[in-house]
Amino acid sequence: MRGFTQKLALVCAAVWLPVTVGAQTNPQLYSVQAIDNMCTEAQKIISNTSLEAYAIRHNNLDSFLFSSSAPYEGPNLSAYNGKETPGDTLPLTVQQFNYFNMNPRTGWVYPETVSCKMKDAEAIQFHFGPTAAGAQSTCRAINEQTFADVFASLTSWQRRTLVYDENDIVFDDDVPKPSGPQWANPLASPFAPKTIYFGGDGLVHVQSIASIVARTNPTNLAGPDKKGSYYCHLPTPEHILAVLRGQVFPCDNIPGDFCFRL
């Protein structure tokens, strides 16, 4: 069902109904605005910065793939709508792409993953000053915070109804891909980037797939707009809650994919 993701991204700007959310659950965590702010909030965590990033949200996958986080050293490319502005004068900017899925039985459409192109801490310090960012963090830290927010949003009764609780969650360390295209490749496949999987240990593993390019990276394979960047694929609160409640589970006939409990 995931081959229609780009079409869903165009029609899902309207509010989706968080049908996995109980009456007592914090609805703001699962709102359209909260999902649209995921990359700006992720930028704060991953670079330990209080700067508010400007987000460019893409409905078109190709525009996202050719975009870059900012600022950077060198001429601006096509990632900013053709603005004739040097990259090093642009505001702190993140790029975001939401990947939607659909329950084939109910027609419920929900955001499964959010992909973020962000700046690393060193690049923010270089462009905005040494106190503008702290120590470099990770995609894993973002996922840990999102899971903590989901658990905190639940009542004690809702926690008791979960199939998986905090003790069933394992957060994997970041797995950097050697190139941006390899990091982005799952977005163009029939399946969403796999941010959650069920391990052979019977636990829920949260997978942190990253693309990391240092600002001082000497290779010519990375253009100036790619240096000083940190990219992550992140599970959304709604997808996390569906997994914790056992509403989605690994498909027997589609390795690595999720199926809905019908």
- pLDDT value, residue 166: 95
Q: pLDDT tens, 52-79?
A: 999 999 999 999 998 999 998 876 655 5
Mean predicted lDDT score pLDDT of the chain? 82
Query: Is residue 116 helix, strand or coil?
Result: strand
Crossing angle (nearest 10°) for helices 38-47 and 139-152: 120
Q: pLDDT tens, 124-171?
A: 999 999 999 999 999 999 999 999 999 999 999 999 999 999 999 999
Contacts for 187 with CB less than 8 Å, ≥ 6 apart? 61, 64, 65, 97, 99, 115, 193
- pLDDT value, residue 78: 57
Contacts for 23 with CB less than 8 Å, ≥ 6 apart? none
Single pTM value for the model: 0.85
